[in-house]
Structure 1
Amino acid sequence: MSWSDRQRRMLEAMGLKIWVPPSVGAAQAVPVGEASGADAADGETAGVRPGAVPRERVAAQAPSAAVAVAERPRAPVQARAADRAAPGSAGGPPPAQAQTERAAGPTAERAADVLSRALPAAVGDAVGATTQADRTGLSRQAIASLDWDGLRDAVSQCRACGLCETRKNTVFGVGHSQAHWMIIGEAPGEQEDLQGEPFVGPAGKLLDNMLRALGLSRGEGPPEQQVFIANTLKCRPPRNRNPDPAELAQCEPFLQRQIELIQPRIILAMGRFAVQQLLQSQEAIGRLRGRVHRYQGVPLVVTYHPAYLLRNLPDKARAWEDLCLARQTLASGGGRPEAE
């Protein structure tokens, strides 16, 4: 049987000797195994092919024959070789000791370890590449106890879902932390992801114009003249795809805590995913707008997202009606009951 250099190195690393007959090259090296009871009874030397010269004669005739020995464990391997060469001879270890020495030799675990180290590194790299990195997220109870700064830090460090792998920035929100108005959108887009701020770009400009018409701002004036703007999702979905329900559920405690800390007088929900997440309803915005809902006791008005309005100009008039309803609700100190 022919043995390649790689096979010989693996056998040597597993603690097996390689016996090379004087008349045969290294390519014909044969591994020498341990003697079994049946082999000893038949008078054969373990690991030697039928008709081959026994090791004792080879050692006497050709002392220069190549015998490779694994580096670990060196002493037990030599002891086992002596035990096989002259079992029960004077000066040799007793049978019980020989069994103990054999037990200390290569085990299945050691063989597996040797084989794993002998295989190409690319195999190990491929296995490691399939291991998913741990993603940790705070529990709802932990998030519910955070203050404003702690909540902002928790959002920026969140790795509770796969969106953390593709985001450039988290989008916590912008505006006064005690604003009377709170505007909640859907998910960050490309520009929001780059700047770390909600409602930027053309949709953000339209929103600013709508707020200005109501005497409101996202960054100027006292709390009653400011808004706080947030999204239901704090990270951008890749390629601006729709948010997954699991992603919305992961971010929900952050939004809930924002609302608890801000304590707004009125909430304006903009866009289908924001409305459905806050109201836990699958109804269309057209069926939900025009009346006042409540979220955690806070009056909530539904309207269209500014990005939608840029594509559907006729609905701008309806959006303005929604903003006027929100202003009227805030001025009256509460909303009228929901329609059944």
Structure 2
Amino acid sequence: MPDDERLRTLGLWPVWHLRAAAVEPISSPAPVTAGVGQYRQAVAGADDIADMDLEALRQAVLSCRRCLLHETRTQGVFGVGDINADWLIVGEAPGAEEDRLGEPFVGQAGKLLDAMLVSIGLTRGTNLYIANVLKSHPPGNRDPKPDEVAACIPYLERQIDLIRPKIILAMGRFAAQSLLVTGDSISRLRGQAHRYRDVPLVVTYHPAYLLRNPADKAKVWDDLCLAKSLLMLDAA
């Protein structure tokens, strides 16, 4: 598909065109806030997770009972993609289709994500890994609870340690807040460069949000350009 047709699919033609955006100074994560932090201290087993290889981690997710979501989920949703990827996309939690299929970002939101990725030269499975903060589907697609995030975040942290991405794209409020340990809104967090440990991180809107708010697609393009420029800067 030609580039202009991809952009029309995204509803961004002629706004989107890759440009050398100025890279702002990288900021440090905000201080730990109440909520996830207080639950996390009470969750057992994080030290064991920190020693797992990728296959052991996958099996731990599939059999996880660290929170009550195991009672209602169909299966754990571990993550998919290139385990040597430069790019890591982190979403929020599996939806009903993800729970059924065992893969993050499927359905209409997944199709939109794929179109967004193709527009910057990426495809699933090649130099890209996709995971969620939560590995189990919250019933009714409700927001994740702090204790659920606290139970799941060690899995994601270990995935990041093992994959060692060069850029992280946090999609959605919960993904951004969980990785940056902040209560700030997504509108305050996006449009700038952050760091998760030593990895550059960019915050943007979740594709499911864009399906409801297509006018914000242009903002996501800016975020994708920022992420790509940070990766290029790191490689220079």
Do the structures match in fold with TM over 0.5? yes
Give the 4+ runs in structure 1 shifted more than 3 A.
none
Post-superposition Cα deviations, 1:203-245, rounded to whole Å, max 9, x if no partner, equal 00000000011111112x4xxxx21000000000011111000
Post-superposition Cα deviations, 1:77-104, rounded to whole Å, max 9, x if no partner, equal xxxxxxxxxxxxxxxxxxxxxxxxxxxx
The CA distance in 1 between the partners of 2:189 and 2:177, in whole Å, is 10
* Higher gyration radius (CA): 1
Deviation at 1:138, TM superposition (A): 6.2
Deviation at 1:147, TM superposition (A): 0.5
Count residues in correspondence. Answer: 193
Aligned to 1:301: 202
Quick one: percent identity of the two aligned structures?
Answer: 59
- C-alpha root-mean-square deviation of aligned residues, in Å? 1.1
Post-superposition Cα deviations, 1:107-132, rounded to whole Å, max 9, x if no partner, equal xxxxxxxxxxxxxxxxxxxxxxxxxx
Aligned to 1:99: none
1:176 matched to 2:77 = no
Aligned to 2:104: 198
In the alignment, which of 202, 213, 217 is matched to residue 119 of structure 2?
213
The CA distance in 1 between the partners of 2:223 and 2:67, in whole Å, is 34
Post-superposition Cα deviations, 1:161-186, rounded to whole Å, max 9, x if no partner, equal 11001100110001011100000000
The CA distance in 1 between the partners of 2:113 and 2:83, in whole Å, is 19
The CA distance in 1 between the partners of 2:190 and 2:54, in whole Å, is 31
Deviation at 1:158, TM superposition (A): 0.6
Look up the SS of the partner of 2:52 in the other structure: coil
Q: Which amino acid letter does the alignment assign opposite residue 144 of structure 1?
A: A
Deviation at 1:253, TM superposition (A): 0.5
Aligned to 2:65: 159
Post-superposition Cα deviations, 1:182-203, rounded to whole Å, max 9, x if no partner, equal 0000000000000000000000
The CA distance in 2 between the partners of 1:154 and 1:283, in whole Å, is 31
Q: Which amino acid letter does the alignment assign opposite residue 187 of structure 1?
A: A
The CA distance in 2 between the partners of 1:272 and 1:328, in whole Å, is 22
1:278 matched to 2:150 = no
- Matches of residues 256-275 of structure 1 in structure 2 within 5 Å? 256-275=157-176
The CA distance in 2 between the partners of 1:280 and 1:194, in whole Å, is 30
The CA distance in 2 between the partners of 1:158 and 1:313, in whole Å, is 36
Deviation at 1:270, TM superposition (A): 0.3
The CA distance in 1 between the partners of 2:185 and 2:60, in whole Å, is 33
Look up the SS of the partner of 1:333 in the other structure: helix
Which structure 2 residue ranges, 5 or more long, are not aligned?
1-42
Q: Which amino acid letter does the alignment assign opposite residue 205 of structure 1?
A: K
In the alignment, which of 207, 210, 214 is matched to residue 313 of structure 1?
214
Aligned to 1:129: none
- Matches of residues 1-340 of structure 1 in structure 2 within 5 Å? 139-219=45-125, 221=126, 226-333=127-234
Aligned to 2:16: none
The CA distance in 2 between the partners of 1:274 and 1:215, in whole Å, is 23
Which structure 1 residue ranges, 5 or more long, are not aligned?
1-136, 335-340
Post-superposition Cα deviations, 1:1-41, rounded to whole Å, max 9, x if no partner, equal xxxxxxxxxxxxxxxxxxxxxxxxxxxxxxxxxxxxxxxxx
Highest RCO, 1 vs 2 (Cα 8 Å, sep ≥ 6) = 2
Deviation at 1:315, TM superposition (A): 0.4
Look up the SS of the partner of 2:170 in the other structure: strand
TM-score w.r.t. the length of structure 2 is 0.80
The CA distance in 2 between the partners of 1:160 and 1:323, in whole Å, is 34
Q: Which amino acid letter does the alignment assign opposite residue 165 of structure 1?
A: E
TM-score w.r.t. the length of structure 1 is 0.56
